[in-house]
Each structure stands twice: as C-alpha cells, then as structure tokens.
C-alpha cells in the first residue's frame, strides 16, 4: 500500500498536519508516533513524558503565544498579515477542540506600556505578548478531543518509531520503521518535535538537507513567592524579558512563566531536566519561570545539543536528577543542604529535587549571566533577588538545527516537508501547530491539482 501522506510525530505540528489534510478531503493518511496514546501517557518523572500523543506540549501548561517575536521563525516565510491570519486560524482550531475562551492575557494597555518603560530602566527589554493560557489540565482535554476526532478517519500508530525517511532521485518515498518494515508514501511530513531533535539532525545529514546551527538555551528554573511578581503576572500572565549581560554581553531571557505554578522534572531517555507548568484551576503559592542563556557556537563545533546534554548530565551525575539551591547559598559560595531548604521562605514545589551546588554544574559564564539577570529583574520587581529564591537546574531547551525550507516548508528533497520544533522552525505550541497547517495545505493542494505527480 502507498499512503498519500505519512506524518512522523504526533505533537502539535503533526496533529494539525493530519487534521488539515483530513479536512481537505485527503484519504490515505498515516500518522506515526514513537510514544504512547494520549490516554496511556503519564506525567510521572520516572517515565518518558516528552513524546507520545501531543508531544512535549501534552504536559506543558498550554500557552498559545500570538506575538510574532515569540515562539519561532514561521513569520519569516510569509507576510505579516498572512502570519497574523494563520495564528488566528490556528487559535480558532484550539478553541474548537476545547481551549478556554476566557483565559486570554496581555492586551496592550497604558499599564503594560508603563511596565515596558520600567523594564527599560532596569536594563531589561519587556516584550508585550498576547497569550491564551489553556492550563495543563485543559491542554490534555484538547489533545484527547483531537485524538477522538481523528482516530477513526486516519490511520494512527502509537508506540511506532520511524527509523528513517526514505528518498530516491531527490524525491521522498516513505519511511523505514524501527522493526525494519517500510511504509511507502507520496508525501512525508517530518514533525518529530522537541524530543526528536537528534533524529531530525540525523535525517538531515543522511538526506543531505541544508541546515543552520541553532543556539542552545541553558539555564535554571526560578521559584519564588507569587506575590513578588503579581503586579506583572496580573497584567500579562507571562512576562517575556530579555537582558544582555554586562560581563559577557550574552542574551539572557525569561521563559515559560507560571503564576501559581509547579516545578516539574522531565525525562528524555537517560536525561532528567527541569521545567514548569501551571493549571487553570489549581494554584500553588509560588510563581516559577526559566532564566535561559542562549549560546551560539561557530565552526568547527556544530553540535549544540550535545553541549546542552553534557551540562544537564553534570546535574544528573551530582544529584541523580535535579539540583535545587537557594540563591543566598549560591551567592555565599556554599551548597544548599536539606536543613537550609527546609527553613527557606519559599516552599519548593518539586519535592524530588536534591539540595546541592549549581556552581559545580554551570560554566562561570552561564552562572554570571543568570545572576546578573536576577539582579536586573529585582530592580523591576523587588524581591526576585531574595536569598530565599530557589534555583533548580538544569533546564535546557534543545532546538534542532534549522532545516532550510521553502515558503511551503518543503525541504531540498521534493515532497518532504519539515515542520514544528523538530525542524528548528518553531518554539511553541501555536507556531508549531500553524506550521503543520502550512505544510498540509501545500500537500493537499498538490494532491488535488497534480494527482499523478511522482
């Protein structure tokens, strides 16, 4: 059997590709996912939670970001007006499948404008950002609804790993599965997601695809009492702050701010990293967010993913997982102990984290950047730099080398499309899903108008 389209990966990009093809009347769609189905997945840190139906986004807190400056590079492939329309259409699909309409934050206002100016005085760039916050529990509901709508109309295989994309004479031919069997397809959409960044790199090398090296973001998850940031989070829910360090002029940014949220572990294979999320209807007393340092490498080094893994592995080696340290202990040059964490005024939400010393993990450059960022944020929101602020490490964002694609997101191999975070094109739920729509519309157009093209 030859499928009309084979989609590799059932994260937002892959799911929205499948949905779009189905709605365009395309039959013969195969969706492959190496992880489990949505109802078989678990958020337990002892198991793989970055892959499976919904991808890493299944256990995120479900932020849909509308700013063209946040969430990826998809806007570079179309006009600003087309990009805005695409994001709006994609958001509408999330709403159709159960995303909450009322949880919309970040509309520009005089209060937000004043916050932008205050941030500037603190040497921070505040990026106004309109977002829809679904909440972790609602995110899972949306993904269940999408699965239920698709499962009887396309072929879905979970626990099924695609080993390689097959091509011949410059044309995509299908995929080879882990068991050695081959599935033929006229079109292939590669949507491996964040957990598939290494897989995508290997496919690009094997197929001779042109790529550019992406930076790797390495840092910590910060946790502190929610009251210190309420003025900001009440206005914008999530603040996007960028700082250029005085010592090294490195770009440092906040990421994934979770008011009333919880810090969690993520396991990817043998690697444990840290992340955060927040529920729509369940709140802790804390707010957490990441501080990430962007590192761009030049020749001859072209493997930032390996570098990020190495830093995270140091934390795993020292603690068996995630290290937690009070900011005051870090600045005093001593490790945190269980007794010091127990008397900390910030109660940790990640109970499995092991008290330790992050200075044994991070290079001096990264640690200096993180401390400077915290000091700058303290000028904007006094209390951030409290000695009772908790730092968890390591948080790493692995981005695939960016695949060179056309405006339709087609690679240098004809009929092979690359979408989402795994292709290095996006960095968030909304743009990832939107990229799947772009590729699927291109595939559907060719199948309708050039049915005999091969």
Q: How far is CA 225 from the centre of its chain?
A: 25
In order of their start, the domains of the chain are 2-99+134-212+400-449 (3.50.50.60), 216-397 (no CATH)
**Which tokens is 256 given?**
């994934």
Distance between CA atoms of residues 311 and 364, nearest Å: 12
Q: What is the DSSP string of 177-238?
A: ETTS-EEEEEEEEE---GGGHHHHHHHHHHHT--EEPPPEEEEEEEEEEGGGGHHHHHHHSS
Side-chain-side CA neighbours of 266 within 13 Å: the count stands at: 28
**Which tokens is 346 given?**
């910030």
Strands 216-225 and 286-295: antiparallel
**What's the pTM?**
0.84
* Mean pLDDT, rounded, for 6-12: 97
Q: What is the pLDDT of residues 351-407, one digit of tens each?
A: 999 999 999 999 999 999 999 999 999 999 999 999 999 999 999 987 778 999 999
Assess whether pLDDT exceeds 60 at residue 45.
no
Q: What is the pLDDT of residues 244-270, one digit of tens each?
A: 999 999 999 999 999 999 999 988 778
Q: How many CB atoms lie within 10 A of CB 163?
A: 17
Which residues does 383 contact at the CB level (< 8 Å), separation at least 6? 224, 225, 227, 228
**Which tokens is 261 given?**
């949220």
């Amino acid at each position: 059997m030859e499928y009309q389209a084979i989609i590799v990966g059932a994260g937002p990009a892959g799911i929205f590709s499948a949905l779009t093809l189905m709605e365009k009347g395309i039959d013969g769609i195969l969706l492959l996912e190496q992880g489990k189905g949505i109802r078989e997945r678990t958020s337990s840190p002892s198991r793989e939670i970055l892959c499976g139906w919904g991808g890493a986004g299944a256990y995120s807190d479900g932020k849909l970001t509308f700013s063209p400056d946040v969430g990826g590079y998809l806007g570079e492939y179309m006009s600003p007006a087309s990009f805005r329309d695409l994001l709006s259409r994609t958001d509408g699909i999330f709403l159709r499948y159960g995303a909450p309409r009322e949880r919309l934050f970040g509309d520009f206002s005089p209060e937000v404008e004043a916050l932008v100016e205050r941030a500037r005085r603190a040497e921070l760039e505040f990026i106004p950002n309109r977002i829809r916050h679904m909440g972790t529990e609602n995110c899972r509901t949306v993904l269940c609804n999408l699965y239920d709508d698709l499962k009887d109309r396309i072929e879905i295989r979970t626990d099924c790993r695609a080993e390689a994309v097959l091509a011949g004479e410059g044309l995509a031919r299908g995929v080879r599965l882990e068991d050695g069997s081959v599935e033929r397809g006229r079109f292939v959409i590669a949507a491996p997601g964040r957990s598939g960044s290494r897989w995508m790199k290997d496919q690009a090398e094997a197929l001779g695809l042109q790529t550019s090296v992406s930076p790797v973001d390495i840092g910590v998850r910060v946790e502190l009492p929610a009251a210190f940031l309420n003025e900001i989070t009440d206005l914008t829910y999530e603040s996007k702050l960028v700082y250029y360090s005085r010592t090294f002029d490195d770009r440092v940014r906040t990421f994934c701010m979770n008011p009333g949220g919880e810090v969690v572990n993520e396991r990817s294979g043998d690697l444990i990293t840290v992340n955060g999320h927040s529920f729509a209807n369940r709140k802790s007393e804390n707010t957490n967010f990441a501080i990430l340092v962007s590192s761009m490498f030049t020749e001859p080094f072209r493997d930032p993913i390996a570098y990020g893994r190495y830093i995270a592995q140091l934390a795993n080696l020292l603690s068996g997982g995630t290290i937690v340290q009070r900011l005051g202990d870090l600045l005093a040059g001593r490790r945190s102990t269980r007794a010091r964490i127990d008397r900390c005024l910030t109660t940790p939400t990640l109970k499995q984290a092991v008290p330790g010393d992050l200075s044994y993990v991070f290079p001096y450059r990264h640690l200096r950047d993180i401390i400077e960022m915290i000091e700058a944020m303290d000028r904007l929101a006094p209390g951030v730099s409290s000695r009772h602020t908790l730092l968890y490490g390591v948080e790493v964002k692995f981005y695939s080398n960016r695949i060179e694609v056309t405006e339709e997101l087609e690679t240098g191999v004809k009929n092979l499309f690359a979408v989402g975070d795994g292709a290095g094109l996006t960095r968030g739920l909304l743009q990832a899903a939107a990229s799947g729509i772009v590729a699927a519309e291109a595939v559907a157009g060719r199948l309708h108008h050039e049915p005999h093209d091969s």
